[in-house]
Chain A
Amino acid sequence: MKKPDVKVVLLGDMNVGKTSLLHRYTERKFKDTISTVGGAFFLKQWGPYNISIWDTAGREQFHGLGSMYCRGASAVILTYDVTNWQSLAELEERFLSLTDTANHDCIYALVGNKADLTDLKAQLPLDLSGASPASLSGTGLHKQVPREEAMALYERILRYKGLDEKSSLPAEKMCFETSAKTGYNVDTLFETLFDLVLPSILRKRNENLVSPTVDLEEYREASARRGKTCC
């Protein structure tokens, strides 16, 4: 098993589209999902680095596992559904506390998914936006969460975490609206994050270089086992 250099965690209520976002990014397609049980992760090769992306379960039943998934995370993607105001509220009420176990310099991103349901421009993937909007279907659903709401939450998160607003990444940059269905903004989201966590990877590598450790435990276990099985 390749050991990941860094961890990114997707958090958010059930049904907001965390699994779909990960599928879109890793497999480049939108497929049927079933509500995630427990959690799953995907290993992404990013240049010379391995990034593990954890897809967590939004269901209440698995809520308790969240802290463990977030332990040591370098980035957390807090996901909500732009057509569902409650899903944004849940982030603040239920999910934010799970991130206490994340790294101190953890990066937070707020992601409003299913933008294809509310925004014309999200009905096409970002890089194809030249196509005529006439061919697009109407946007049936009412957008319940304006981006400003998410940006406001982002600022509150910085305050909860005791982070200085000036030296932290700006809300403008860290609040995304995406569509796993069309692919809108999905690559941008992940790739922006990866670029931002790179310094954290480098720092971790350097730490390991500075204090090279000889693993005495390993040796001890081996010798003890030998001793025990001499019967």
Chain B
Amino acid sequence: MSVKAFELVPAVERELLMGEKARINIECIECCGKHLYVGTNDCIIHHFLLEEVTSSKGKLSYLAQKLLHKYLGLKKPVAELRAASALERLIVLCDGVVFLVDMVTLETVPSAAGGGAKIRNVTGFCINENPVNGDPFCVEMGVLTSKRRTVQIYMIYEDRVQLVKEVSTPEQPCALSLDGYFLCLALATQYMILNYNTGSFQDLFPYNSEERRPIVKRIGREEFLLAAPGGLGMFANAEGVSQRAPVNWSERVICAAVCFPYVVALDESFITIHSMLDQQLKQTLSFRDGHILQDFEGKMILASTKAVYVLVPLPLERQIQDLLAGQRVEEALTLTEGAQRNIPKDRFQILHKRILQQVGFIQFGQLQFSEAREHFRKGQLDVRELISLYPLLLPASSSFTRCHPPLHEFADLNQLAQGDQEKVLHCKKFLIRYLEEVRSTEVVNGCREDVDTALLKLYAEQHHESLMELLTSDNSCLLADKLPAICCSSVHLLCLGKIENCQDLLLERATLHGKLEEHDKALQILVHELKDFQSAESFCLWASSCQDSTYRQKLFHLLLSVYLDGNHCGRSNAGGSGGEYDMAAVDLLNRHGEVFDAAQVLRILPESWSLQLLCPFLNRAVRASMHACRMSQIGLGLAHSENLQLLHDRLEERKKNIVVSEKKGCHLCHNTFSQPDVVCLPGPVPVHAHCVARRVRDSPTKRLLANSSNHT
């Protein structure tokens, strides 16, 4: 159940800090912007400048530059270091004494220069990160001294150090943290919260501080993280209430900090990372001789006894994608939603939508349809992403392309189902339900045709009873779309079946026959049953609208023969009405002469027809063939003259001289010529032979070719 949330990056190596000296250990660190201070057990403060370097590959590293080190002269370890950057001082605890040194020179600030009185017999101190004093040049400090059962509150000003409060505690305190007026204390046998302003206090829970080192860590406004029995990390707010479930550490954790949404804890051999969102252990990094873990303005710094490291969080998006890649949808969603407060609102919304959609597809792939639907809906999925998984459902005219980077790893439904037809069927049923649900909502704005057409095809294929309902209600189906033969015919057959015997729907029947490419049946109905010649003509135009000219010609010839046959039948059966069809045939020829193959028409026309009658048709036919003939002659002439022109240009170029010398430069690389092998580009432009070669190699068309050949 791991996720890579952090990376451990070395910051100050052992060499830089202590060289080969074996007995030197790091005791404390402080980081303030780029300034890193390290206190060691030989009473020295080291000052480094820490530069963040990002490699071209995006890999982060740190470059530490040593600025200064200073021996404090006390022969004791430097126990604590805290920056008071507004005062440009470091607060130092060494040999039980708290005093101030200059942040730049590391010189002790003398009392006369505002160094203030030293605080003696100190066993530990903390800085109030949520100060109650409005003065930005005042640092508030909680201090534990060897004086029994008390905590002291100091204010450090530029020119003085002032004891403002002394509170007594029921037991000996051994660790503390301060937020506003709230002191969170580890006493010998329990933790407690104490308001030093009102004196009120709240017991938290028992803990044996002698057995295990307590941890009292402020993690946010009025919230603390505490080491609890059984290796737990417990959260407690100033009211003494736990608002988050505890995390389960090892028993030996020595330091902890929060880098939202993670709790990072350090013991002697490992860094463990738990999520505050689901309390799960997410990552473990081995870390030898773990000693210090502290966060400085969001930067997590760790130290072993010999070296300093930075724990760098990986980009959230990447963590989420890693979780999704492992199909850990719950965790991915929790992490995304937990990040809401750390990301600008608009960016969060985009991220959130995308993750919801990805989660939906993962669940879709696992056939967890109700969950998938919910996530598609919440993520406002462009339905076409889903439709496009089903081969041939989107109309050919659809402009849709899948989003990039892709929302899922499936090529199509067949790959997803791996040949399991039952799965395919389930997926299709799901899509039907989903499309029915969304087709009337605004999610499908702008792609209504795609959605309705896909639904129609699915209905047809599944012989779904809602087919007619869809067709007869307000819909955006594209019937002209080249439906795959099976869907197409089944839609139309189904419809035809329903209206076969219905005299009122002749026109619809004709249309449906047309869609089934049964053109002669359609024309029979239009011509003989409806006697609507206008529509018959329009039908030919419509049915051939997306086809080439021979197809259209075929249809018109068909109509002509229907007319002529009608003429024939008319004469033998009904008598008299034959003239009607003759007129229709003549009109057709005269109106659409250019479509017909005149020679073929003349062959089938009845002998009896007068030339007069067909004059417009014949005129047009002759004109059309003359036109075609002349157009091709013109084309030929133009091509010939262009050829001559090019030939001429080439000869011209050959005649010109160009001078190449060592002073002249190649137009491609702008270096001079040093050798006589020169290529001349049209212009004339002299260039290096190798430059031309490279350019040809790198030219976009060439690259394109190279790429596409890679893919195939």
Residues of B within 8 A of A41 (CB): 245
User: Which listed residue, B131, B136, B239, touches A72 by the CB 8 Å rule?
Assistant: B239
Q: Bits for B230-253, please: 1 = Cβ < 8 Å to A, else 0.
A: 101010100111111111100000
Tell me whether B248 and A37 are in contact (CB under 8 A): yes
B106 CB to closest chain A CB (Å) equals 16
Any A CB within 8 A of the CB of B649: no
Residues of B within 8 A of A217 (CB): 130, 180, 221
A208 CB to closest chain B CB (Å) equals 15
Closest to B33 in A: A231
Residues of B within 8 A of A39 (CB): 242, 245-246
Within 8 A of B (CB), among A56-103: 59, 61-62, 64-65, 67-69, 71-72, 101
User: Which listed residue, B137, B240, B246, B338, touches A227 by the CB 8 Å rule?
Assistant: B137
B100 CB to closest chain A CB (Å) equals 16
Residues of B within 8 A of A101 (CB): 240
Tell me whether B279 and A224 are in contact (CB under 8 A): no
Given the known interface contacts A61-B229, A62-B230, A64-B229, the answer about A220 and B236 at a Cβ–Cβ threshold of 8 Å is no
Any A CB within 8 A of the CB of B500: no
Given the known interface contacts A217-B180, A227-B86, A231-B33, the answer about A71 and B221 at a Cβ–Cβ threshold of 8 Å is no
Any B CB within 8 A of the CB of A132: no
Any B CB within 8 A of the CB of A209: no
CA distance A71 to B132 in the complex (A): 27
CA distance A71 to B202 in the complex (A): 10
The 6 closest A-B pairs by CB, nearest first: A227-B136, A38-B246, A64-B206, A231-B85, A38-B232, A64-B205
Q: Looking at chain B, what size class is its interface with the partner chain?
A: 35 or more
Residues of A within 8 A of B88 (CB): 231
CA distance A64 to B234 in the complex (A): 12
Q: Bits for A157-170, please: 1 = Cβ < 8 Å to B, else 0.
A: 00000000000000
Residues of B within 8 A of A225 (CB): 129
Tell me whether B229 and A68 are in contact (CB under 8 A): no
Tell me whether B136 and A68 are in contact (CB under 8 A): no
Any B CB within 8 A of the CB of A206: no
CA distance A227 to B182 in the complex (A): 21
CA distance A71 to B242 in the complex (A): 9
Residues of B within 8 A of A220 (CB): 130-132, 134
Residues of A within 8 A of B229 (CB): 61-62, 64-65
Within 8 A of A (CB), among B188-224: 203-207, 221
Any A CB within 8 A of the CB of B32: yes
Any A CB within 8 A of the CB of B346: no
Between-chain CB contacts (< 8 Å), 27 pairs: A1-B243, A37-B246, A38-B245, A38-B247, A38-B248, A39-B246, A40-B279, A41-B245, A59-B230, A61-B229, A62-B228, A62-B230, A62-B232, A64-B205, A64-B206, A64-B228, A68-B205, A68-B241, A72-B239, A217-B221, A221-B129, A225-B129, A227-B86, A227-B136, A227-B137, A229-B85, A231-B86
B246 CB to closest chain A CB (Å) equals 4
Chain B facing A: main interface SS: loop
Residues of A within 8 A of B32 (CB): 231
Tell me whether A38 and B234 are in contact (CB under 8 A): yes
Any B CB within 8 A of the CB of A207: no
Tell me whether B239 and A37 are in contact (CB under 8 A): no
CA distance A40 to B239 in the complex (A): 19
Q: 15 more A-B contacts (CB under 8 A) besides A38-B245, A230-B86?
A: A1-B243, A37-B232, A38-B232, A38-B234, A39-B242, A39-B246, A65-B246, A68-B204, A68-B236, A68-B241, A217-B180, A221-B180, A224-B130, A228-B84, A231-B85
Tell me whether B230 and A71 are in contact (CB under 8 A): no
CA distance A224 to B86 in the complex (A): 10
Tell me whether B228 and A72 are in contact (CB under 8 A): no
Tell me whether B245 and A40 are in contact (CB under 8 A): yes
Residues of B within 8 A of A67 (CB): 203, 205
Q: Looking at chain A, what size class is its interface with the partner chain?
A: 20 to 34
CA distance A25 to B695 in the complex (A): 71
Any B CB within 8 A of the CB of A218: yes
CA distance A64 to B189 in the complex (A): 11
Q: Bits for A31-46, please: 1 = Cβ < 8 Å to B, else 0.
A: 0000001111100000
Any A CB within 8 A of the CB of B297: yes
Residues of B within 8 A of A229 (CB): 85, 297
- A residues engaging B (CB < 8 A)? 1, 37-41, 59, 61-62, 64-65, 67-69, 71-72, 101, 217-218, 220-221, 223-231
Tell me whether A65 and B86 are in contact (CB under 8 A): no
Residues of A within 8 A of B245 (CB): 38-41
Residues of A within 8 A of B230 (CB): 37-38, 59, 61-62
Closest to B240 in A: A71
Tell me whether A226 and B248 are in contact (CB under 8 A): no
Closest to B279 in A: A40
Q: Bits for B274-309, please: 1 = Cβ < 8 Å to A, else 0.
A: 000001000000000000000001000000000000
B98 CB to closest chain A CB (Å) equals 19
Residues of B within 8 A of A65 (CB): 205, 228-229, 232, 234, 242, 246
Within 8 A of A (CB), among B406-441: none
Q: Bits for B93-130, please: 1 = Cβ < 8 Å to A, else 0.
A: 00000000000000000000000000000000000011
Tell me whether B131 and A224 are in contact (CB under 8 A): yes
Tell me whether A224 and B205 are in contact (CB under 8 A): no
Tell me whether A228 and B86 are in contact (CB under 8 A): yes
Closest to A230 in B: B86
CA distance A62 to B136 in the complex (A): 42
B162 CB to closest chain A CB (Å) equals 17
Given the known interface contacts A38-B228, A65-B228, the answer about A221 and B205 at a Cβ–Cβ threshold of 8 Å is no
Given the known interface contacts A40-B279, A41-B245, the answer about A223 and B228 at a Cβ–Cβ threshold of 8 Å is no
Given the known interface contacts A39-B245, A68-B240, the answer about A223 and B206 at a Cβ–Cβ threshold of 8 Å is no
Residues of B within 8 A of A221 (CB): 129-131, 180, 221
